[in-house]
Amino acid sequence: MSRFRHLSSSAPRSHEVHVWLLDRDDINPTTITAFASLLPQQDRERMETFRSSTRRHLFVLTRMLLRKILSAYIANSTPDSLVFTQNAWGKPQLVPNSQALHFNLSHSKDKVVIAVANKRVLGVDIEYMDRSRNFNNIAQHYFHPTEWNDEIVEQNCILNMRRFYKLWTLKEALSKAEGQGLALPFDSFYFSDVNSKQVTLHSAADFKPACPWRFHHQFTPDNYSLAMAFEGVAEDSHTAVSIVQRLALDDIS
């Protein structure tokens, strides 16, 4: 039986965020071709806007995974029956959405991550930690001065790389949760307690958070940085939010 069908009775509970992490290399190229024929017209038209076959294949894969995962959570739905719309900055949303499911997707190198929550707005980002990037120059250009300065930067380049990618993915996750993506300047807010398990968000400039955000971050064993920003609710004061990971989907055909 498909793992997606099995999930139909296990949608995220109020204190859960489900995180699906998939290695693209696990998907046979012929499966991606089959996926393309199953996409509704809305998605096929968007697929054709991508010039490179790599971009088209990635769109097909991520869109079909998203449709299969979400339809498994929604009773009496199929992957092709779901309808998406976008906000002004391009963040996809379900319409209609009677179960108040919120979701977000990110990909980097060989990984695709999809996060799903019930009645919690969220954003997710994953980045492969490439040591060859000049992350010091990038950080100085994009980050708030309190996040990256001569007093904070380590002599150890590995520690600097990990700090950079943790901050970058946290900022991406927050900007996506806010629904603005890269339209939200990364230096309009900043994080403190970066080396702790739970970072603290601060506003700079005119940025006002849409809600009280909570954050989750982890480094994966295969050199990725993964971060989420998700809406805090009143119940969180006495209920721990569980991050439920679902890895290596074994049946997506």
The 10s digit of each residue's pLDDT in 17-36 is 888 888 887 777 787 777 78
pLDDT at 6: 38
Higher pLDDT, 130 or 90: 130
Average pLDDT over residues 202-224: 92
pLDDT at 228: 94
Kindly tell me if the per-residue pLDDT of 247 is higher than 80: no
The answer to which of 89-93, 125-129, 188-192 has the lowest mean pLDDT is 89-93
* The pairing of beta strand 200-203 with beta strand 189-192: antiparallel
Fold that domain 1-120+243-253 belongs to in CATH: Ribosomal Protein L22; Chain A (3.90.470)
pLDDT at 238: 55
Q: Rounded to whole angstroms, how far apart are CA atoms 127 and 171?
A: 12
* AA identity, residue 105: L
Give SS3 for 152: coil
Reported as a pLDDT band with limits 50, 70 and 90, residue 9 is: very low
**Minimal CA–CA distance to 225: which of 136, 109, 134?**
109
Q: Dihedrals φ, ψ of 198, to 5°?
A: -120, 110
pLDDT at 5: 35
Q: Rounded to whole angstroms, how far apart are CA atoms 217 and 226?
A: 6
Reported as a pLDDT band with limits 50, 70 and 90, residue 130 is: very high
Q: Rounded to whole angstroms, how far apart are CA atoms 64 and 35?
A: 7
Token reading at 129: 């930690």
> Model's pTM, two decimal places?
0.88
Fold that domain 123-232 belongs to in CATH: Ribosomal Protein L22; Chain A (3.90.470)
Residues with Cβ < 8 Å from 139, sequence gap 6 or more?
147, 148, 164, 167
Kindly tell me if the per-residue pLDDT of 221 is higher than 80: yes
pLDDT at 225: 96
Q: Rounded to whole angstroms, how far apart are CA atoms 29 and 12?
A: 30
Give SS3 for 23: strand
For the chain, which residues make up each domain, given as ranges? 1-120+243-253, 123-232
